[in-house]
Chains A and B, each alone.
Chain A
Amino acid sequence: MTIQTAAQTTRPGVRSSRDAARMRRGIPWGSIGTYVLLAAITFFCLAPFYWMFVTSLKGSNEIFDNSLWPINPTLDNYAAVFGAQNTFVFALRNSAIIASCVTVIALFFGVTAAYAIARLEFRGKNVVLGLFLATSMFPGVAILTPLFQLFADLGWINTYQAMIIPDISFALPLGVYILVSFFRAMPWELEAAALVDGCTRGQAFRRIILPLAVPGVFTTAILVFISAWNEFMIANAMSQTPAAQPVTVAIAQFTGISQYDKPYGTQMAAGVIVTIPLIIIVLIFQRRIVSGLTAGGVK
């Protein structure tokens, strides 16, 4: 899969006709203004991230000089992230395990439910869909209190399941919501053809629809994974030792290079380490992610 460049992503037909219209009008002041604004938007989105990256490369003497690039770039902060007092390797491992489990469980249950909602006729269908949407309205705190009590009684605090189980409460509705719109977008003739060929509904789903739905399921998996990777509130309550914390909690509780340092540079370096993989995923799959995010939002 390649990263889409700007030129590739525009629809050629549309572009040529609009460009022609523009040329007739002479100097394209309007489009110059557009590109200035475009630069402003890019700046708005990227400048804080750039700042995080630049700060992560500054030594402890320069960290508050607020210069826009590092004068003496150093990797000290990155060394500190993986240093003795910060258990960041564990945190990365914990986040990867938790987010993967949440993704697999949410998709395992979500795919079948979304298929039924999208492509089968049954009584109470809108009630079921409404139920999934309503669950996405729940504030996490409404389930946090009782689950914390329960997991404390079970001795589950600082375990993976204590973070995975509550995460399902937002991951499964999110997965179903996105998958429903992907299943809906598939041609209706698919099952009809399979039924004519003697498949049952169940066989049509397993043999015809599921293989064709792989791209949509994959996109959903990316989005669910990112949402689980970024979860903070539940993990902050359920993990209380460094060895059990996922990255979001670990970063918020970082200490500096020395005990007396403000952990500014270390936190920024850790932030870069956590975010870079996400940004790579986002750049590679940007079209899919956008189609997944906007699924359902637009008809």
Chain B
Amino acid sequence: MSISPRVLNRRRSRTGTGRAKDGGLAFWLVIPSVAVLTLVIAFPVISSIIRSLFGDGIGEVPFVGLDNYAQALWGYNADDFWASTGVTYLFTAVTIVLETLIGLGMALVANRAFRGRGLIRASVLVPWAVPTAVAAVLWKWAFDPQGIINSLLGTDIIWTGSSVPSMIAIIVADTWKTAPFVALLVLAGLQVIPEEVYEAAKIDGASAWKRFVFITLPLVKPALLVAVLFRMLDALRMYDLPEIMTNGANGTATLSVLVVQSTLSQLKPGYGGALSTLTFLLIFVTAYLFVRLLGVNAVEQAGGRKGKKQ
């Protein structure tokens, strides 16, 4: 491990203050990762933003300013963009509500069951471990007109043939895949609530419902909000399920599907760059509002020792 002379000097000059020593070492420990992330994230994102200011076509592309953004937001392609935005947020809202409710329910049951916890942990990990692409294929066939879902329901619905059934199929697949993951995070939150709290409440005559509302929910809230934040970031960039199950047809093209289609299928990197920048801004603003309004402190949860805010 090499330490530059400058850092060595600083160490000598401030002997006794551990902070300066740490600073030099920390710099050399952190900088490679920052450099790698700059290379694989910052560089592509910035070049995408620059590219989005240029037109599409063969040969030399003209500078068009914000035309690509105008085209997406209120121009020729506005319908597609807003339809994708709408369906992305619809998927996000519906799957998060379903997954939070199911995940919370699963976690509460798992937390009560003492003999079956190993079994439940193992089975909860199965949907999480199945690759999303495989889950998509699995549910695509389950929702086939001749498939198991129609057979169980006694229906003849062509699930991936029209808008609402397609969305239902994708939402079911996503809920199966990730509700167990939410359950896992919430269960970890439940397990740190001491049993004595419940016993004290019981002695004071609190009903099971009251114990849930006044003890469980407030104490599990931080774990739950972090789970919801993770899920939200994932759902807003959903790609695998709609791409494989419906190929983005029938109004199921999420923003990620739309970006990939514009860039790779239609070969419009300028317009695609504008779309991906808009997608990123939407996700960033949504996450920011969520964190601000609900007070999730992901940095603190991750172990950053920040002074307590608020």
Contact = CB atoms under 8 A, between A and B. Distances in A.
A120 B24 CA distance: 10
Given A116-B25, A168-B40, A294 B188 contact: yes
B69 interface: no
A6 interface: yes
A112 to B, nearest CB: 4
A159 to B, nearest CB: 16
B110 A138 contact: no
A129 B19 contact: no
B82 interface: no
Contacts of B45: 138, 142-143, 146
B131 A135 contact: no
Contacts of A48: 127, 135, 138-139, 142, 176
B19 A121 contact: yes
A268 B138 contact: yes
B239 A233 contact: yes
Interface in A129-160: 129-133, 135-150
Contact of B36 (A5, A166, A172, A264): A172
A118 interface: yes
Given A233-B240, A289-B125, A38 B1 contact: no
B40 A299 contact: no
Given A6-B115, A66-B148, A143 B41 contact: yes
A232 B21 contact: no
Interface in A257-299: 264, 267-268, 271, 274-275, 278-279, 281-283, 286, 289-290, 293-294, 296-299
A69 interface: no
A147 B123 CA distance: 38
Interface string A21-34: 00000000011001
A54 to B, nearest CB: 10
A298 B270 CA distance: 42
Contacts of A78: none
Given A38-B120, A293-B181, A120 B22 contact: yes
B32 to A, nearest CB: 5
Contact of B283 (A66, A139, A165, A289): A139
Contacts of A8: 118
B23 interface: yes
B33 A148 contact: no
A89 B79 CA distance: 43
B115 A7 contact: yes
B126 A46 contact: yes
Nearest to A21: B199
A38 B114 CA distance: 11
A125 interface: yes
Contacts of B294: none
A117 to B, nearest CB: 7
A109 interface: yes
Contacts of B192: 298
Given A46-B123, A126-B306, A180-B303, A252 B137 contact: yes
B40 A252 contact: no
Contact of A144 (B37, B180, B260, B304): B260
Contact of A38 (B48, B113, B151, B298): B113
Given A136-B233, A282-B122, A286-B125, A297 B189 contact: yes
B289 interface: no
Interface stretch (B93-101, B163-171, B210-218, B273-281): B273-281
A299 B116 CA distance: 25
A208 interface: no
13 contacts: A34-B113, A64-B144, A64-B146, A109-B33, A120-B22, A122-B22, A122-B27, A131-B34, A139-B279, A169-B40, A252-B133, A297-B189, A298-B222
Closest 3 CB pairs of A and B: A294-B188, A248-B133, A113-B33
Interface of B: 1, 18-19, 21-23, 25-27, 29-30, 32-34, 36-37, 40-41, 44-45, 47-48, 51, 102, 106, 109-110, 112-139, 141-142, 144, 146-148, 151-152, 176, 179-181, 183-185, 188-189, 192, 195, 222-223, 226-227, 230, 233, 236-237, 239-240, 243-244, 255-256, 259-260, 263-264, 269, 272-273, 275-277, 279-280, 283-284, 287, 298-304, 306
